[in-house]
Structure 1
Amino acid sequence: MEISARNVIKGTVKKVVMGMVTAEITLEVSPGIQMTGVISKASAERLGLSEGKEAHAIIKSSDVMFAVE
């Protein structure tokens, strides 16, 4: 895979929740560290995303926000 994005994180799919239009994908990127993202259902199906499959999260953002209570 060749891609210009710098923020590429490799992991293992831990959970896939398919909705009517979107899919919520949870990726374990390190033991006990997970990240979740939402993509189209069609994309999840095309990529064959399922529990246990290796995948990459690619983060493209121009802003990062932080908040505290």
Structure 2
Amino acid sequence: MAAEPLCRHCKAKDIITAAVTPDHIIPLFKGGLAEDGNIQCLCKSCHDIKTAKDLGTFPHRQQAEIGADGWRIG
């Protein structure tokens, strides 16, 4: 964090935001390595978005509630 105090994703868009968390560029669960070359520092918002993309849950879509009869509720 000391070497990269600003969010890398924000900085690429000419936005100055403090980095608050180190992030694995290639997630460990996708084969990324726990080494300096695979780390970038991000703000919370950018980290949350990247994590959701890594997990395949971005953009977040709310699941419809389904009743016992199999039909959508609401």
- TM band (smaller chain): under 0.3
Which structure: larger Rg?
Answer: 2
TM-score, normalization: structure 1?
0.27
TM-score, normalization: structure 2?
0.25
Q: Of Structure 1 and Structure 2, which has the larger fraction of its residues in helix?
A: 2
Q: Of Structure 1 and Structure 2, which has the larger fraction of its residues in strand?
A: 1
Highest relative contact order (Cα 8 Å, sep 6+), 1 or 2?
1
